[in-house]
């Protein structure tokens, strides 16, 4: 039993210096960097992973204080997540669970569409503890979730979420960050690293992202672990904000299986 449909897409682009993620890179390179994510169908149902920036980030009053390099570009003209789900032919009420890599605002903006506690939101307990400590930083946006009565379902370490979907704790970028290994019905495997390995250049140059909330050695160990895990599983490693990688992945309505 495995994932029989996998949609991959970006919910928009971020104007962020790639140098922050790939030390030594050209500081003039401001991306844009994709907010890549996925929607996976397993025998247990549909699983929506990170849910991008909220639609109000189109407003300068919202994005200006955080994105000093310019405005982010969000998918479509409406709500980025709803537009993406519509392109996949799936509605929010069909989602069996939302799965979050971590709680930065470019991953949490669509949580409002799962208000009312009907859809479990899976996240590492270590990430909830980190944010509750008050040390989450400027890119944590509690207004993405606090008003919406979400059904949080904390995970405690490595977990099989559903058939063909494994959560892998990958601390460094944040203490509770997690990545995901997916096994497709074809037998192909993909390891979605999200912000633990933001770009393929981190691997090619053997450098670790500097955007970390842990000791740099933790991020180093995590990147090495994910590269090794992908190799051992014969999986393609998919960095979370890599424009070159996401340009090669199919966009809805196309999918892989």
pLDDT tens for residues 226-235? 999 999 999 9
Beta strand pairing call for 189-194 and 236-239: parallel
Number of DSSP helices (H) and strands (E) in the chain, helices first: 6, 12
Write the CA distances from 227 to 34, 134, 206, 243, integer angstroms: 21, 31, 11, 19
- Joined together, the tokens standing for residue 205 give 């140059």
pLDDT of 7 over the 90 cut? yes
Residue-level pLDDT at 76: 87
Q: Mind listing the pLDDT tens digit for each residue in 182-239?
A: 999 999 999 999 999 999 999 999 999 999 999 999 999 999 999 999 999 999 999 9
Q: Mind listing the pLDDT tens digit for each residue in 96-138?
A: 999 999 999 999 999 999 999 999 999 999 999 999 999 899 9
Please report where in the chains the tokens 């039993």 appear, as a residue.
Answer: 1
Tell me the average pLDDT across 38-42: 98
Q: What percent of the chain has pLDDT over 70?
A: 100
Spell out the domains of the chain, with CATH numbers in brackets.
5-246 (3.60.15.10)
Q: Mind listing the pLDDT tens digit for each residue in 63-83?
A: 999 999 999 999 888 999 999
Q: Which residues have C-beta within 8 Å of that of residue 1, sequence separation ≥ 6?
A: 42, 43, 163, 164
Read off the DSSP letter of residue 244: H
Report pTM: 0.96
């Amino acid at each position: 039993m495995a994932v029989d449909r996998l949609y991959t897409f970006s919910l928009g682009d971020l104007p962020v210096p790639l140098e922050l993620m790939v030390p030594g890179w050209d500081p003039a390179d401001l991306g844009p960097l994709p907010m890549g994510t996925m929607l996976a169908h397993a025998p247990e149902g549909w699983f929506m992973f990170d849910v991008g920036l909220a639609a109000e980030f189109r407003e300068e009053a919202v994005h200006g204080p955080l994105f000093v390099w310019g405005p982010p570009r969000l998918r479509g003209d409406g709500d980025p997540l709803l537009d993406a789900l519509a392109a996949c032919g799936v509605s929010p009420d069909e989602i069996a669970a939302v799965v979050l890599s971590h709680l930065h605002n470019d991953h949490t903006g669509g949580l409002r569409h799962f208000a009312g506690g009907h859809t479990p939101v899976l996240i590492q307990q270590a990430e909830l503890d980190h944010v509750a400590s008050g040390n989450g930083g400027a890119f944590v946006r509690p207004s993405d979730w606090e008003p919406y009565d979400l059904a949080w379902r904390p995970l405690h370490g490595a977990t099989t979420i559903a058939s063909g979907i494994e959560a892998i704790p990958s601390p460094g970028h944040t203490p509770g960050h997690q990545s995901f290994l997916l096994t497709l019905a074809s037998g192909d495997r993909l390891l979605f690293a999200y912000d633990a390995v933001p770009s393929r250049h981190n691997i090619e140059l053997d450098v670790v992202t500097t955007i970390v909330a842990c000791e740099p050695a933790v991020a180093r160990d995590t990147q090495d672990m994910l590269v090794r895990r992908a190799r051992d599983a014969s999986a393609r490693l998919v960095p979370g904000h890599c424009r070159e990688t996401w340009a090669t992945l199919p966009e809805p309505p196309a999918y892989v299986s």
